[in-house]
């Protein structure tokens, strides 16, 4: 049978930085429209101030009878100053509200897409790097929005206003100013675009180094246990140096652009001022015209530099966002079918039909494996490492899609139902329990968020962890640390089992879930399991064979195939692989050694 679904491309708005940004601009259209309007008002008032200043100078330098108008001009001058200030404050408030709100939406959308990726994706990418990229993208958009609002739009409006004012003074000056600004800005933008590969390279290194730093901190126990402090310091130092070198190249490219603009600014401003003074000496323009030409020339040329460098910064921000989308917005390989239904549990029957699967390599982990588990049956799965035991568990949860064949739960192909409804029917306890950096109560309640405190405690008692929890500094309110670092492996496993008990799903899956427990504790939990899971389907990948004695059935897997299947007593009487494993495990051999010797 064909795989469940072909890889699904990301939504259109995640396929590039432009589409990504426009998506949120449309969603917040009224806010961005209001920002744009008030920026126009503020920048227009600023240009108006320069023109009123010209009028004031001309009135004061003109005939005495015209000086009565100076107070009117002054009133306009003050009014425009107040309008500009008030408008910029409104822009600041709107920008704060909008960019923060968009940042929240962006992070939620990126996380929503990320958490639908298959486990293969997370095995290939550092968690710290992914988290840093999601957070940084919201910051990059905020920087991009602020650059546009404060450093791109105002110079453009200033430039348009200056051209209007210059057209009333001297058309030649207007043409000269327009030519200089357009040429300089274009050259700086082209120069800035040449730096895009440097900015992108720096962005990629920054994300990778941040991820490696988090990875090292997360595995600090291993660093200390293997005396690797100096080695890890040297490795991180090398990464930091590479990142710093890339940052310097990106930064110095921008500084070179600034230097080139300063040279052009000085020459252009000097030329415009000499021209204005010459026209005044010939009586062709007024003193107010000279004042407005000088102030606007410096203002526009400075603004053109800010505009060009802002466009370079925009290119850098686009590069950061593009890098994030390339990493996070990859096609999803495990997706719901277009018409996926909701799984309807009917007891918990599970069936594997000719399932073949590989992790992308030539070797199949399972080959045409078929297995039927009636509802309510408790089945154990044993075999050496790499035999495919945990793979079956992962395929049942649809963390991966099968290469061939199909898996059914209560007669419903899991490829035809939604992933969330499938997993709602499963309570899974993996070998390596990962807990959240939250309280014990929150970690157990994660199995069923609407559970009462009493139900949480009851599940903890069934998993034989209520005793040690109450001895913790703050009992059930104790924070367990990152990934449960404050607890032992056995304590984490008990909390994981309590979480599964609380979920109360029709199918419970234990993937060597008691391997960190002593034999006595494991037997106690197995008894609780039999009591609480009566009438439910239990699939247990077991390390110690003795814990399967009360199970209805055991299958032995080797090289992705089922080699034995029956009750524990039947398999022991069969005197095959299971019996050899049972006998040899009694001598204290590991599961792998047991299989090797049995073979």
Q: What is the pLDDT of residues 196-227, one digit of tens each?
A: 677 777 877 887 888 788 788 878 867 887 77
Spatial strand order of the sheet with 378-382 comes to 426-429, 507-511, 537-541, 378-382, 553-558, 561-566
Band of the pLDDT at 322, cuts 50, 70, 90? confident
In the predicted structure, residue 597 carries a pLDDT above the cut 60: no
Strand (E) positions, 177-226?
none
Segment 492-528, tens digit of pLDDT: 888 888 888 888 788 888 887 666 566 666 666 666 6
Q: Distance (Å, rounded) from C-alpha 380 to C-alpha 391?
A: 14
- CB–CB of 456/471 below 8 Å? no
Average pLDDT, the chain: 81
In the predicted structure, residue 468 carries a pLDDT above the cut 70: yes
Band of the pLDDT at 337, cuts 50, 70, 90? confident
Write down the pLDDT at residue 595: 45
CATH topology of domain 13-328: ABC transporter transmembrane region fold (1.20.1560)
Write down the pLDDT at residue 526: 65
What would the mean pLDDT of 329-333 be, rounded to a whole number? 75
Band of the pLDDT at 86, cuts 50, 70, 90? very high
Write down the pLDDT at residue 594: 44
In the predicted structure, residue 400 carries a pLDDT above the cut 70: yes
Q: Distance (Å, rounded) from C-alpha 432 to C-alpha 501?
A: 17
What would the mean pLDDT of 19-45 be, rounded to a whole number? 92
Q: Give the end-to-end CA distance of the chain in Å, rounded to a whole number.
A: 33
pTM: 0.66
CA-wise closest residue to 381 among 509, 531, 535, 573: 509
Write down the pLDDT at residue 288: 77
What would the mean pLDDT of 364-370 be, rounded to a whole number? 87
Band of the pLDDT at 248, cuts 50, 70, 90? confident
Segment 160-202, tens digit of pLDDT: 888 888 887 878 888 887 888 888 777 777 776 677 677 777 8
Write down the pLDDT at residue 352: 92
Q: Distance (Å, rounded) from C-alpha 484 to C-alpha 194?
A: 48
- CB–CB of 56/70 below 8 Å? yes
The values of phi and psi at residue 561, to 5°, are -130, 150
428's enclosing H/E stretch is: strand 426-429
**Domain 343-425+508-514+538-599: CATH architecture, name and number where available:** 3-Layer(aba) Sandwich (3.40)
Q: What are the tokens at 255?
A: 């500084």
- CB–CB of 147/119 below 8 Å? no
Write down the pLDDT at residue 540: 86
What would the mean pLDDT of 451-480 be, rounded to a whole number? 88
Which residues belong to CATH 3.40.50.300 in the chain? 343-425+508-514+538-599
Band of the pLDDT at 4, cuts 50, 70, 90? very low
Which tops the pLDDT comparison, 585 or 336? 336
Q: What percent of the chain has pLDDT over 90?
A: 12
In the predicted structure, residue 591 carries a pLDDT above the cut 90: no
Which tops the pLDDT comparison, 294 or 413? 413
CA-wise closest residue to 98 among 156, 158, 21, 40: 21
Write down the pLDDT at residue 192: 67
Q: Distance (Å, rounded) from C-alpha 321 to C-alpha 485?
A: 34
Q: What percent of the chain has pLDDT over 70?
A: 89
In the predicted structure, residue 463 carries a pLDDT above the cut 50: yes
Q: Which is it for strands 412-413 and 404-409: parallel, antiparallel or unpaired?
A: antiparallel
């Amino acid at each position: 049978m064909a795989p469940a679904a072909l890889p699904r491309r990301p939504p259109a708005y995640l396929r590039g930085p432009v589409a990504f940004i426009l998506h949120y601009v449309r969603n917040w259209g009224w806010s961005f429209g209001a920002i744009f309007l008030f920026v126009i008002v503020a920048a227009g008032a600023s240009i108006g101030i320069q023109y009123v200043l010209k009028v004031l100078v001309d009135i004061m330098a003109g005939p005495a009878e015209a000086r009565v108008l100076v107070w009117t001009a002054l009133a306009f001058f003050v009014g425009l100053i107040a309008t500009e200030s008030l408008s910029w404050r409104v822009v600041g408030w709107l920008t704060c509200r909008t960019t923060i709100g968009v940042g929240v939406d962006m992070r939620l959308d990126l996380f929503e897409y990320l958490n639908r990726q298959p486990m293969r994706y997370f095995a290939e990418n550092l968690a710290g790097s992914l988290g840093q990229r999601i957070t940084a993208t919201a910051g990059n958009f905020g920087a991009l929005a602020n650059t546009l609002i404060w450093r791109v739009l105002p110079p453009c409006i200033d430039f348009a206003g200056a051209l209007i004012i210059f057209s009333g003074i001297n058309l030649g000056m207007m043409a000269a100013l327009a030519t200089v600004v357009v040429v300089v800005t274009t050259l700086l933008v082209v120069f800035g675009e040449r730096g895009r590969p440097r900015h992108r390279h720096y962005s990629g290194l920054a994300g990778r180094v941040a991820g490696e730093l988090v990875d090292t901190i997360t595995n600090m126990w291993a660093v200390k246990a293997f005396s690797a402090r100096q080695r890890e310091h040297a490795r991180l130092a090398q990464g930091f140096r590479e990142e710093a070198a890339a940052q310097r190249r990106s930064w110095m490219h921008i500084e070179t652009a600034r230097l080139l603009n300063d040279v052009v600014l000085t020459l252009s401003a000097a030329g415009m001022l000499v021209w204005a003074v010459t026209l005044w000496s010939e009586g062709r323009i007024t003193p107010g015209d000279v004042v407005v030409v000088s102030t606007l020339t410096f203002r526009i040329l400075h603004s053109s530099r800010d505009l060009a460098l802002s466009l370079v910064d925009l290119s850098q921000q686009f590069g950061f966002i593009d890098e994030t989308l390339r990493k996070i917005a990859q096609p999803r390989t495990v997706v719901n079918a277009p018409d996926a239904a909701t799984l309807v549990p009917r007891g918990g029957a599970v069936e594997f039909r000719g399932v073949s699967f590989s992790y992308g390599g030539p070797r199949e982990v399972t080959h045409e494996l078929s297995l039927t588990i009636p509802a309510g049956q408790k089945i154990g799965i044993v075999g050496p490492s790499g035999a495919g035991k945990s793979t079956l568990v992962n395929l049942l949860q649809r963390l991966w899609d099968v290469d061939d064949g199909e898996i059914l739960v209560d007669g419903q192909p899991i490829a035809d139902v939604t992933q969330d409804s499938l997993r709602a029917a499963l309570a899974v306890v993996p070998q390596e329990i990962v807990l959240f950096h939250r309280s014990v109560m929150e970690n157990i309640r994660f199995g069923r968020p609407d559970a009462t405190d009493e139900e949480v405690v009851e599940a903890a008692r069934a998993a034989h962890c209520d005793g040690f929890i109450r001895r913790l500094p703050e009992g059930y309110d104790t924070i367990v640390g990152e990934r449960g670092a404050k607890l032992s492996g056995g304590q984490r496993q008990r909390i994981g089992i309590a979480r599964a008990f609380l979920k109360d799903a029709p199918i419970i899956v234990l993937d060597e879930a008691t391997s960190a427990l002593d034999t006595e504790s494991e037997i106690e939990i197995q008894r609780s399991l039999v009591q609480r899971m009566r009438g439910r389907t239990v699939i247990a990948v077991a390390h110690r064979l003795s814990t399967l004695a009360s199970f209805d059935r055991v299958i032995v897997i080797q090289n992705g195939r089922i080699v034995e299947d029956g009750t524990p007593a039947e398999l022991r009487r069969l005197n095959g692989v299971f019996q050899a494993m049972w006998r040899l495990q009694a001598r204290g051999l590991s599961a792998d050694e047991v299989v090797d010797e049995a073979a």
